[in-house]
Structure 1
Amino acid sequence: MAISTSAWQTPSQNRLLAALPAADFARLQPHLELVSLPLGWAVYEAGGTQGYVYFPIDSIVSLLYVMEDGSSAEIAVSGNEGLVGISLFMGGETTPSRAVVQSAGHGYRLSAAVLKREFERGGDLQHLLLRYTQALITQMAQTAVCNRHHALEQQLCRWLLLSLDRLPANELVMTQELIANMLGVRREGVTEAAGNLQKARLINYSRGHITVLDRPKLEARVCECYAVVKREYDRLIPSALTL
């Protein structure tokens, strides 16, 4: 899936890579490989060996937990604010979750060997990756709280806003069935919730395309969970990070 580098696609489109000091980035740059991330592609499977870490630039990857009966639920999303494959530098090597591309696009991959070597050097890169991991843990915890205590419509608003924060446009290509799988709910519930948002003219949903028409009102309708997660990411991974 490796592709030639484009002037429109650069490592700086990923917030983690953009936040690295020049010396750290210079060591990584020769090893960064631009790749295509097609919709539905499994970046890694539960318990599987991970040969690379991925830095999305215009795509979204869902971290899913799959039950024994095959049902699944999303525990977090990762896009241009972060990376996919934290177990490689946290020491666990594998994870019981799986990672699947939710919104197609591109990303840069880095071999596990290079990542581990650079992480073990300590310093700014290690500090940045640990801060990202803390933000990701916050998202996972807040997702669990949201799924337990908030209405499906609020969960859908949270999911839409978190996804759009990681994309350059205000449109998602996503079927209701896929959204239901991500949220771990019945498709009928997503149909009703999306219909309510469309009637309120907050979104337009047609043939798998979701366009946000009024983001301020959508943010006013969402539960507190979205703001909690966004504040933590902005606090730990600001656009111009001071390490």
Structure 2
Amino acid sequence: MLALQSDLHGNHLLSALPHDEWQALAPHLELVRLRAEQLLYDSGQRIHHVYFPTTAVVSMLYMMENGGSVEVAAVGREGMTGVPVLTGGEAMPNRVQVQYAGFAYRMSAQALRLHFARSECMQRLMLLYMHALLTQIAQMAACNRHHSLNKQLCRWLLIEVDRVGSYELAVTQQLISEMLGVRREGVTEAAGKLHREGLIHHSRGHIRVLDRKGLEASACECYGLVKREFDRLLPHQHRPARPEVCTFGRPEDEAICRLTPLHSPFI
């Protein structure tokens, strides 16, 4: 077992909690290492634990009867897995597996339910996160249906850069094809085009983003829409050094726990 770290800035939801909220959660959190392609939940599987990624990135995948898959959301340091436990559900409707190896805080689903039930601050934070996550899922569905593979690839790369926190991505074209639900040959062609335009450099198992602004200009509107929604609902917060109160969208005179905005969860 890895020791629990005192620096919570690795996960934006945990770092958004005020000191007393964190103190209540800390005994239930375990820092764990997640392996690439590790299956956290399969479709229909009961949720026993939730995960708050710090350096890992997790994919929510819908599986087709023919064995194909498509990513409907990526969860990194801005969020958590196992959201259905907060809405009365006990099982995942889709597969959730690790896309990038790294670390996450693990917590039992029962402990999270109990804390969620008695903490108004936690309720507001998690409901805002669920709103943002649903926006991402809905927008990805529209993107997969209406936008070209080139634009989808730009959008996907930008999201991955944000989640990982680096312009260096250890990804294969096979992985990207599985995430986008397309043929590998299509990804090869689209990545080659971005390479020739000087937006990325790609080699076997590795992509480096060279021109973020150019990539944003080439992406569809889906990336910007989802980013703005996360920024609006969940500006990156940090845990104050002493108990305070934060607002989560309320007028300041109705605050229950004030949080200090720092950076977007996408930066």
TM range (shorter): over 0.9
Letter in 2 for 1:242: T
- In structure 2, how many angstroms separate the alpha carbons of the residues matched to 1:239 and 1:177? 32
Alignment correspondent of 1:93: 90
Alignment correspondent of 2:143: 146
Whose radius of gyration is greater, 1 or 2? 2
Out of 62, 71, 78, the residue aligned to residue 74 of structure 1 is 71
The question of 1:129 aligning with 2:159 is answered no
- In structure 2, how many angstroms separate the alpha carbons of the residues matched to 1:68 and 1:171? 34
Alignment correspondent of 1:220: 217
Matches within 5 A, 1:1-243: 2-5=1-4, 10-240=7-237, 242-243=247-248
Q: CA deviation at 1:6?
A: 5.6
* Per-residue deviation, residues 10-40 of structure 1 (Å, max 9, x unmatched): 3321110011122111100121110001100
3-state SS, counterpart of residue 65 of structure 2: coil
Letter in 2 for 1:150: H
8 A contact 1:14–1:82 mirrored in 2: yes
8 A contact 2:139–2:222 mirrored in 1: yes
- In structure 2, how many angstroms separate the alpha carbons of the residues matched to 1:67 and 1:81? 28
- In structure 2, how many angstroms separate the alpha carbons of the residues matched to 1:233 and 1:219? 17
8 A contact 2:46–2:92 mirrored in 1: no
3-state SS, counterpart of residue 169 of structure 1: coil
* Per-residue deviation, residues 119-171 of structure 1 (Å, max 9, x unmatched): 11140101101100000000000001111111101000111111111112111
Q: Which moved more, 1:136-145 or 1:160-169?
A: 160-169
Q: CA deviation at 1:90?
A: 1.3
Letter in 1 for 2:228: R
- In structure 1, how many angstroms separate the alpha carbons of the residues matched to 2:93 and 2:47? 12
Q: How many residues matched?
A: 240
8 A contact 1:57–1:107 mirrored in 2: yes
* Per-residue deviation, residues 26-75 of structure 1 (Å, max 9, x unmatched): 10012111000110001111111111110001111000001122111101
- In structure 1, how many angstroms separate the alpha carbons of the residues matched to 2:11 and 2:43? 25
Structure 2: tracts of 5 or more residues without a match: 238-245, 249-267
Q: Between the two proteins, what is the percent identity of the paired residues?
A: 52
8 A contact 1:157–1:218 mirrored in 2: yes
